[in-house]
Amino acid sequence: MQKKAIFLFALGWVLLSGCTVNNNPHTNNDLDGTITNDIQQSSHVGDNASNQKRDVPITDATLPSQNSKTRTEKVTHVMIHFISNAGVKPNDPYNAKDVYRIFLDYGLSAHYMIGRDGEIYQLVDESRVAFHSGKGNLPEFPTYQNKMNEYSIGIELLAVGTRDEMLSMMSGKTYDSINPSDIGYTDAQYRSLNLLLETIFDRYPSVLRNRKHVVGHDEYAPERKTDPGSLFDWSRIRFKQTNDEKRMHVVEQGESLWFIAQKYGTTVDTIVAANGIDPNDYIWVGQELIIPGKEGAGTEQPKERSQSHVVEQGDSLWFIAQKYGTTIDAIAAANGIDPNDYLLVGQELVIPE
Ligand SMILES: [Zn+2]
């Protein structure tokens, strides 16, 4: 009995590290009914054109419907979180099934979860509201107070924060038994998060590419939450458009230069300069505008060809590096690309010896 109480106590602490949702009406989950809803390894590419274009492999791990609800508001935000099972299993904090069990048992959810190797799980369809943010406030969006779930897509990264950030969720002794390599975030997680965000920006022009629209749980609920915390490097989140097929924008009805600049995370002046137009000029529906992106990438030819790999659906730099027994950085350097760059299906990569 006492043992069980200690276990539940510990699990309760773990929940604090994730996304406890106050006033969640769905706290009475039927565990028996959800046990079969385990993580399915049926990997698929998102069924939407943007996803196909970006080629983000996503594992379907949809939570039962009581872990989410119908969405009625427009999505304008993404909220970043961390979660782990470190409070219960400090030596094995990232077992996806254990974390999935936390969501199941407590009626919580997020739309996506990103594992340590960058694997992306879809837990809730974006068309539904996930229970990840709870009570809080963003000063610039006062009407969203305590209602962030309605307006956001929640992304959980499997990660553990600093000792100070975690001490409200577990004992110092437990924290100290966590392997240091399990603390903080992995390169693969940043890569996958950027890929996922790119598809979200594509699907929701109302999610602007900036820090006001991609926020941390700790910014929304600073008194209660420490995730994603100080170990999360926001400078690695790419808000700028890269040089891909999105370099041209076709003006649609109702758009202004300001709106277009916001959409691509650039400025009116930059667009105006790139297109040789006057900022006071009219733009018209159907007009094609150049959207300046990162210069140079992809134009340099590699000097020595040893072997090459043509990117296939589902490939990641990590996967390709593993396959050829090399590293992500070596491939990135050989191809003059950023390790965080997107891979396109059909793209040819030089694989260094
Ligand atoms: Zn959170």
How would DSSP label each residue in 15-57? HHHTT--TT-S-----HHHHTT-PPP--EEE-SSHHHHHHT-E
How far does the centroid of ligand 1 lie from the alpha carbon of residue 37, in Å? 23
Helix, coil or strand: residue 219: helix
Query: Which range has the worst mean pLDDT, 61-65, 70-74, 90-94, 307-311?
Result: 307-311
How far does the centroid of ligand 1 lie from the alpha carbon of residue 177, in Å? 23
Mean pLDDT of 223-230: 97
**Would you state the structure tokens that stand for residue 62, as one six-digit string?**
């949809």
Query: Which range has the worst mean pLDDT, 49-53, 256-260, 292-296?
Result: 49-53
pLDDT on residue 277:
83
Mean pLDDT of 140-169: 97
Tell the burial category of 281 from Cβ atoms under 10 Å away from its Cβ (0-12, 13-18, 19+).
exposed
pLDDT on residue 230:
98
Instruction: Specify the long-range contacts of residues 324-332, CB closer than 8 Å, at least 24 apart.
Output: 324/351, 326/351, 326/352, 328/187
Q: Which of 128, 113, 119 is nearest to 19 (CA)?
A: 113
Question: Higher-confidence residue: 19 or 336?
Answer: 336
Residue 318 has pLDDT above 60, yes or no: yes
Q: Which of 141, 175, 27 is nearest to 73 (CA)?
A: 141
How far does the centroid of ligand 1 lie from the alpha carbon of residue 321, in Å? 32
Confidence of residue 40 (pLDDT cuts 50, 70, 90): very low
How far does the centroid of ligand 1 lie from the alpha carbon of residue 340, in Å? 24
Mean pLDDT of 177-192: 97
Residue 16 has pLDDT above 90, yes or no: no
How far does the centroid of ligand 1 lie from the alpha carbon of residue 294, in Å? 32
DSSP 212: T
pLDDT on residue 262:
87
296: left (phi over 0), alpha (psi -120 to 50) or beta: left
How far does the centroid of ligand 1 lie from the alpha carbon of residue 80, in Å? 7
Query: Which range has the worst mean pLDDT, 4-13, 177-186, 203-212?
Result: 4-13
Residue 22 has pLDDT above 80, yes or no: no
Please tell me the distance from the alpha carbon of residue 130 to that of residue 155, in angstroms, as a whole number. 10
Mean pLDDT of 237-245: 68
pLDDT on residue 23:
34
Please tell me the distance from the alpha carbon of residue 113 to that of residue 117, in angstroms, as a whole number. 12
Asked whether 149 and 105 are in contact (CB, 8 A), the reply is no
Strands (E), the chain: 43-45, 57-60, 68-70, 77-83, 112-114, 120-122, 128-130, 152-158, 214-216, 248-250, 288-290, 307-310, 348-351
Mean pLDDT of 96-124: 96
How far does the centroid of ligand 1 lie from the alpha carbon of residue 229, in Å? 10
How far does the centroid of ligand 1 lie from the alpha carbon of residue 16, in Å? 8
Q: What are phi and psi of 165, to 5 degrees?
A: -70, -25
156, 245, 255, 304: which is the annotated catalytic residue?
156
Percentage, residues of the chain above pLDDT 70: 78
Question: Higher-confidence residue: 335 or 225?
Answer: 225
Domains with residue ranges and CATH for the chain: 2-236 (3.40.80.10), 245-290 (3.10.350.10), 307-351 (3.10.350.10)
Query: Which range has the worst mean pLDDT, 18-32, 40-54, 224-238, 249-263?
Result: 18-32
Residue 56 has pLDDT above 80, yes or no: no
Confidence of residue 270 (pLDDT cuts 50, 70, 90): confident
How far does the centroid of ligand 1 lie from the alpha carbon of residue 110, in Å? 9
How far does the centroid of ligand 1 lie from the alpha carbon of residue 317, in Å? 28
Query: Which range has the worst mean pLDDT, 43-57, 75-89, 124-138, 150-164?
Result: 43-57
pLDDT on residue 299:
35
Please tell me the distance from the alpha carbon of residue 183 to that of residue 258, in angstroms, as a whole number. 41
How far does the centroid of ligand 1 lie from the alpha carbon of residue 158, in Å? 11
Residue 345 has pLDDT above 90, yes or no: no
Residue 3 has pLDDT above 70, yes or no: no
Confidence of residue 13 (pLDDT cuts 50, 70, 90): very low
Residue 238 has pLDDT above 50, yes or no: yes
Write the single-letter amino acid at 81.
Answer: H
Residue 21 has pLDDT above 70, yes or no: no
Mean pLDDT of 109-117: 97
CB-side exposure of 153: number of CA atoms within 13 Å? 27
Residue 279 preceded by cis peptide, ω within 30:
no
How far does the centroid of ligand 1 lie from the alpha carbon of residue 19, in Å? 4
Select, from the ranges 148-152, 289-293, 297-301, the one with the highest average predicted confidence (pLDDT): 148-152
Write the single-letter amino acid at 267.
Answer: T
Quote the mean pLDDT of the chain. 81
Residue identified by tokens 């891979």 is 343
- Between the two ends of the chain, the Cα-to-Cα distance in Å is 59
Q: Is 156 in the active site?
A: yes
Mean pLDDT of 196-212: 94
Percentage, residues of the chain above pLDDT 90: 51
Confidence of residue 335 (pLDDT cuts 50, 70, 90): confident
